[in-house]
Amino acid sequence: MTTLSVFHQDQPEKAHTVTSDASEIRDMMAEHGVRFERWDTRDLPADASQEEILEAYSDEVASLKQECGFQTADVVSLQADNPQKAAFRQKFLDEHTHSEDEVRFFVRGNGLFYLHFGDQVYALLCEKSDLISVPDGTRHWFDMGPEPEFTCIRLFTNTEGWVAEFTGEDIASRLPRYEVLAGAAG
């Protein structure tokens, strides 16, 4: 279930706000310039190719490209049996920013985005049918969990794809990880 938990950065042991209401999540995210939407999903085989996935969502992807100036779209997918899953998880677990919006649409599975605004951290557990667009310059990190199972469409304005600028802050290590928050949401 899509769930938003809000923490004070100095009190990471307890969320002061938790909601699973999609419209409330959308409104709370919009206050910080974050786009959150729920899209209708398509029934696709578990082994659908990148081309099949992009074709199934071609209208939505084309609309976002036109609206936001994205140049390219691809599909990222990770399963729990991937021998590199721990390394992939670690790559995204430190707070960072980007010089472009980070857009993800969850075709299947889930993942946890942490967004750091002032002294608040918004932990948004996204799932199948969720679209999130994190504005450029936003401090954030992503936790796919120890047994990742997700497929996402990604859109980029930079044709080189994902490029991060790490902040060097340790805040990501102080907040509850996927195992805690996804377990609490389930």
8 is in an annotated binding site: no
96 is in an annotated binding site: yes
140 is in an annotated binding site: yes
Residues 118-138, mean pLDDT to the nearest whole number? 96
184: pLDDT strictly greater than 80: no
pLDDT at 160: 64
Distances in Å between the alpha carbon of 81 and those of 66, 109, 140?
36, 14, 26
Q: Which residues contact 150 (CB under 8 A, 6 or more apart)?
A: 77, 78, 106, 108, 109, 110, 111, 144
Q: Which residues pair with 72 in a beta bridge?
A: 156
Q: Which residues pair with 97 in a beta bridge?
A: 165
185: pLDDT strictly greater than 70: no
* CATH code of 124's domain: 2.60.120.10
pLDDT tens digits, 83-102: 999 999 999 999 999 988 98
Residues 97-112, mean pLDDT to the nearest whole number? 94
Between CA 38 and CA 126 the distance in angstroms is 10
Number of domains in the chain: 1
Residue 40 tokens read as 């209708």
Element (H, E) at 67: helix 58-68
Tell me the residue range of the domain where 146 lies: 3-185
pLDDT tens digits, 30-43: 999 999 999 999 99
Q: Higher pLDDT residue, 139 or 14?
A: 139
* Mean pLDDT, the chain, whole residue set: 93
102 is in an annotated binding site: yes
Place 135 in a pLDDT band, splitting at 50, 70 and 90.
very high
